[in-house]
Amino acid sequence: MKLDAHHYSLLLKLNSRGVIRVFEAVFAASIILISFLIFINLVPPSNPMAYRMQVELEKMGYDVLYNLAQSEAIDEILFYENGTLRADWDARFKIVLQNCLPRGIFFNLTVYNVTYTPDGQVQLEILQSSLSGLSYVSNYESGQILGTSVEITYVYTTKIWYNNVTKKLWNRILILHLVLSRGESSL
């Protein structure tokens, strides 16, 4: 079947109308999506006080870990001068965190030592205290009511030590996982 000029021009008009309708639909959908994204960002959270407290807790946790790292206090808390792990590192860290954080802030800190296997895989090993046998540092006691909590992960590279036996320089990569919560303290 051959199309004459009249039917061909009619077919082109219908096709161009269909293309225009598709563009209109895409344009309308994009306007709806953009307005939805703007609306989500402009609407305040349902509980602004809880959101602000969560942001403050997170900032407080990062500030504490950053200040300890900058002053190399983490090295002094965890390791002896020769780089070996202190037996009482958990008790030392607990005292430091209790002094750095305000009253009513509960914490739970887990320290991971990052090592590499011979085949190049990353392995995380939890540092355990040889005195208490615990793998975390905490001031939380069961039965205490906790409110807003945040989790902070901080990667820290220790200072460089010199090993007299192997005559090599070495350091450690640590991951500090800190959970902070607000609550009522009886301490």
Q: What is the pLDDT of residues 115-145, one digit of tens each?
A: 888 888 888 888 887 777 777 888 887 656 5
Q: Mean of the per-residue pLDDT values for the chain?
A: 81
CA distance 136 to 92: 12
Residue ranges of the chain with per-residue pLDDT less than 70: 1-19, 44-45, 142-145, 161-167, 184-187
Report the pLDDT value the prediction gives residue 1, as an integer from 0 to 100: 55
Report the pLDDT value the prediction gives residue 57, as an integer from 0 to 100: 92
Residue 172, token pair as written in the block: 């450690």
CA distance 62 to 14: 62
The dihedral sign for the CA sequence 96, 102, 107, 110: negative
Neighbour tally for 105: CB within 10 Å: 19
The pTM assigned to this predicted structure is 0.67
Report the pLDDT value the prediction gives residue 185, as an integer from 0 to 100: 46
